[in-house]
Structure formats: C-alpha cells, structure tokens
Amino acid sequence: MRFSELGLRAAINDAVDALGYVEPTPIQEKAIPLILDGCDIIGSAQTGTGKTAAFSLPILSRLGPNGPGPRCLVLEPTRELAQQTYDNFLKFARYTQLRVGLIYGGVGYGPQREALARGVDVVVATPGRLLDHLGQGTLRLDRTKFVVLDEADRMLDMGFLPDVRRILLKCPKERQTLLFSATIPPALETLCAWALHDPVKVEIGARRAPAETVRHVLYPVALAQKQALLLALLEQIHWESVILFCRTKRSADEVVNVLKRAHHKAAVIHSDRSQKERQQALEGFKSGYYEVLVATDVAARGLDIADVSHVINYEVPEHPEDYVHRIGRTGRAQASGDAFTLMTAGDAPHVAGIERFISKKVDRVKLEGFDYQYTALFDEQRLGSLADRKTRGVRLGKGYFYGPARKR
Ligand code: ADP
Ligand code: MG
C-alpha cells in the first residue's frame, strides 16, 4: 500500500513524499480512508505507530483553501506533545496555504493572541490555556469542523476530561471527532459515547515482537551493584545516545544524580518536573547536548524520541508491553541498536512475563572485567544449563556469555 492510493490530495501527498515516508503504517492505512469519508474514529495503536499523520493528513487534505477559522482543533495533554504535533502539521501543510496555530500554557499570552487574530485554520492546544483564550474571547470554536482528542489516555490520567468536555461544548454539534490513544480504558469509553457520533473503532494490536534490528540482553546483577554496573557499562560500551528507563520518579532522580556525579551529561524527564524543565531536557537531548536521557514510562509515552544508540532499562518494566515499547526507541529505520536490561533477583517474575509476552528467552550476559558480587540469579542460570545437559546431553557452556562490549 502506498500513500498515493489512500485518496489524499496532491499537496499533501507531496509533503509526505518530501518527508520520505514510503508506506503508511497500519493505523494510517486503516484510519485515513475512514477520516476522508467523514467518519468519527476511535483509533488505538501503540506509541510510535504514526497516529499523528493518521489524523493530520486526511484533515489537511479535507480543509481546502484558507477560511475563517479555526476549522480544526487538536487537543494534546502536554506542551511537548502539542509542540510535536504542531511541528508535524507544519511539515504536512508545507505545500498548502493553511495556517497552523499553537496554544499552550506557561508562556505569555501576547504572541498567541496575535497569531489567533491573524487567523488560523488549525489550532493545536493544551486544554487549560485554550479555555483561557475562550474565556477572554480571543478565540471562538464555532466554525470547528474537525476535533481531535489526541493521546486521550494521557489526557484522562492528567485529569483533563472535565476541561475537554467544556471545550467540546463550545464546538458545533455538526463536526467530525477523532479520538486517538495508545489504550482505551473504560473511563474513556464514556467520553467516546458522549463526544463521538457512531464512531468506527480502528484498533491495531500491540506489537509483541521487538524489531529485528534491536539486540537486547539482560544483565543479571546484585541489587547493591546496580549503579556500579551501570557506570561500568557506560564506560565500556561504545554509545552515542542513551535513553535510560526507570520505573519511578524517585529512582529516575537518583540515577540522574549518579550519572552527573560520574560526569555524564544527563537530564531527566518525569511528571514531577516542570514543563520548562522537561522541555529543556528534551531539547537538550535531541540536540545532542545531553548524552543520557533518564525517563519514566509515563513521561516518555507519546514522545517522539527515536534513533538512540542504546536503551538501558535500569529497572525491568512492570508491563511486558512497555518492554517492547521501550526497546523500540532504538534500532529504528533499519539502523541497529542495543537494549540492555539490568535485572536483580526480585525482577525474575517480570522478566518471565516479558519472555512469555515476546515468546522468546532473552540472553543473560555479563560485562567483561566487572567484579561481580554473588546473586542467586547466577545459580538459577547454572541450574538451567545443568538441566539442559541432563535432558539433552549436549549443552555444556557456563550458561553465560560476555556482553557486546565494544570498546570505545
Ligand atoms: P504516535 O502518535 O503513534 O506515538 P507519531 O505520530 O509521533 O506516533 O509518529 C512516530 C514517528 O514515526 C514520527 O517520527 C513520525 O515522523 C514517524 N512516522 C509516522 N508515519 C510514518 C510513515 N508512514 N513512514 C515513516 N515514518 C513515519
Ligand atoms: Mg501521538
């Protein structure tokens, strides 16, 4: 399937070409024709599967020439996501005359007011600041034909649903409403029933297999040696950029401090950091100033941070889907990547869950030259290989091999 077969208008297809997209992703292939047909949609697919283009391309295709507006409203839960979606709209609209506006909180009103006064066809906004503009009369939504509720699960988590309802009440009833989300929890079903009209559900199942281009391994280690092993890994392997995942905000803060003390350029994003701090961390990482970005799963959700050379799971994720999702941040676009997961004895059940989910055993490796303390995990491995020997009478190895330590 090619983009040109989906029915988008030429100016939009040209922009897609210019971006180097060759094939639509599964959610795009399914959702774009339906949106072009005027259907309301509930689209769910994992993060990173191209949901932004799935709604913005057909909307831009159908907006036609400039008009009094805005005629399309896109709501996003956070400032970073609003910025990211806005950037996408600009790229997709480059061969049209359509004007796109960006509205979010934490910055002055002046420039936003001026942009709105000049006129916009599409507004990408976070709910709070949008309500302020509606209250001040600097924006009206009575010509809105398309409403997108993007990253709706996150909007729910952040307590934005009442704001979203208030905003929707200001939009015409005659409109096309599209809701996109990585997951559709029950609380969202209620919103869908209220806000959408005969929606078509487009669901793309979670990918269970990590990309072939990612080499992923487990590093069993005693709890007390986790930090030391992390620093040794960073010392020994050849890496360019790393996303390091933690399960909690607290451990993310701890790890970033450990890294900084070891003179690594590291930044952290999680939900207790201010928008400004998160923005700064993200931009610094994308520009290459920070070499390591420490993140929690929630903070990283939806953010388009790809093409890192290494993903390190400092903590094993609780949900197997998060594992696939985390390690998918590397090895994109045919480039290969490495994903390392530090594992302590307490993580064994979660690792087993991951291995069941991806139907594959993940190799255990040791870092060469690291002075390992004993952990029960090493026994378990030896038992495993002994059992193999008994039943098959072949495998003799130690059960471990040394990790992919390419020296700098
Ligand atoms: P989601 O909203 O599902 O998390 P995004 O819309 O942020 O995902 O897209 C993730 C990344 O995939 C972006 O960098 C985007 O440019 C890229 N992308 C989207 N669609 C395609 C495509 N058809 N071909 C190649 N890359 C794509
Ligand atoms: Mg998205």
pLDDT of residue 383: 41
Quickly tell me which residue has 């259907």 as its tokens.
Answer: 39
The ligand minimizing its distance to the Cα of 44 is 1
pLDDT of residue 306: 64
User: pLDDT tens, 89-101?
Assistant: 999 999 999 999 9
Specify the amino acid at residue 162. Answer: P
* Overall average pLDDT of the 379-392 stretch: 44
Token readout for 330 is 């590397």
For ligand 1, the distance from its centroid to the CA atom of residue 40, given in whole angstroms, is 21
User: pLDDT tens, 104-129?
Assistant: 998 999 999 999 999 999 999 999 99
pLDDT of residue 400: 54
> In which band, very low, low, confident or very high, does the pLDDT at 380 lie, cut at 50, 70 and 90?
low
Q: What are the start-end ranges of the E strands in 120-164?
A: 122-125, 146-149
Highest mean pLDDT, choosing among 202-211, 222-231, 299-308: 222-231
For ligand 1, the distance from its centroid to the CA atom of residue 317, given in whole angstroms, is 23
For ligand 1, the distance from its centroid to the CA atom of residue 304, given in whole angstroms, is 8
Within 13 Å and on the Cβ side, how many CA atoms surround 343? Answer: 27
pLDDT of residue 45: 86
Lowest mean pLDDT among 38-42, 300-304, 355-359: 300-304
For ligand 1, the distance from its centroid to the CA atom of residue 215, given in whole angstroms, is 22
For ligand 1, the distance from its centroid to the CA atom of residue 377, given in whole angstroms, is 39
pLDDT of residue 206: 66
| 3-class state of residue 244 by DSSP | strand
Nearest to 92 by CA among 42, 18, 145: 18
pLDDT of residue 14: 96
Handedness of CA 396, 402, 404, 407 (dihedral sign): negative
Task: Express the helix, strand and coil content of the chain in percent, nearest 5 each.
Answer: 45, 15, 40
Q: Of the residues 32, 49, 124, which should be mutated to test ligand 1's pocket, given the most ligand atoms within 8 Å of the CB?
A: 49
Highest mean pLDDT, choosing among 182-191, 220-229, 265-274, 330-339: 220-229
pLDDT of residue 395: 31
Q: Whose CA is nearest to atom 24 of ligand 1?
A: 21
Q: What percent of the chain has pLDDT over 90?
A: 61
Q: Are 196 and 28 in contact (CB under 8 A)?
A: no
Q: Within a 10 A sphere around the Cβ of 236, how many other Cβ atoms?
A: 18
Q: Whose CA is nearest to atom 26 of ligand 1?
A: 21
- State how far the Cα of 72 lies from the Cα of 78, in Å rounded to an integer: 18
Reply yes or no on whether the pLDDT at 396 is more than 50: no
User: pLDDT tens, 174-224?
Assistant: 999 999 998 888 889 999 999 999 999 998 876 666 777 788 999 999 999
Reply yes or no on whether the pLDDT at 284 is more than 80: yes
**Ligand 1 pocket, CB under 6 A:** 21, 24-25, 28, 45, 47-53, 302, 304, 306
For ligand 2, the distance from its centroid to the CA atom of residue 153, given in whole angstroms, is 11
Q: Are 308 and 286 in contact (CB under 8 A)?
A: no
Q: Whose CA is nearest to atom 23 of ligand 1?
A: 24
- State how far the Cα of 323 lies from the Cα of 329, in Å rounded to an integer: 10
User: pLDDT tens, 35-66?
Assistant: 999 999 999 987 778 999 999 999 999 998 88
Reply yes or no on whether the pLDDT at 77 is more than 50: yes
Token readout for 240 is 């360019």
Q: Whose CA is nearest to atom 16 of ligand 1?
A: 50
- State how far the Cα of 331 lies from the Cα of 214, in Å rounded to an integer: 5
Burial of 272 (0-12, 13-18, 19+ CB in 10 A): middle
Quickly tell me which residue has 């283009």 as its tokens.
Answer: 53
- State how far the Cα of 214 lies from the Cα of 313, in Å rounded to an integer: 14
Mean pLDDT (the chain) is 87
User: In ligand 1, which atom is closest to the CA atom of 25?
Assistant: 23
pLDDT of residue 341: 96
For ligand 1, the distance from its centroid to the CA atom of residue 90, given in whole angstroms, is 15
**Domains along the sequence of the chain with CATH:** 3-204 (3.40.50.300), 214-402 (3.40.50.300)
Q: Are 395 and 385 in contact (CB under 8 A)?
A: yes
The ligand minimizing its distance to the Cα of 81 is 2
pLDDT of residue 330: 79
Q: Of the residues 12, 304, 330, which should be mutated to test ligand 1's pocket, given the most ligand atoms within 8 Å of the CB?
A: 304
Cis peptide before 70 (omega within 30 of 0): yes
| 3-class state of residue 313 by DSSP | strand
Q: Are 193 and 315 in contact (CB under 8 A)?
A: no
Q: How far apart are the first and last CA of the chain?
A: 42
* Overall average pLDDT of the 339-367 stretch: 91
Q: Are 47 and 121 in contact (CB under 8 A)?
A: no
User: pLDDT tens, 125-184?
Assistant: 999 999 999 999 999 999 999 999 999 988 998 899 999 999 999 999 999 999 999 888
pTM: 0.69
- State how far the Cα of 189 lies from the Cα of 199, in Å rounded to an integer: 11
pLDDT of residue 299: 75
pLDDT of residue 402: 55
Reply yes or no on whether the pLDDT at 393 is more than 80: no
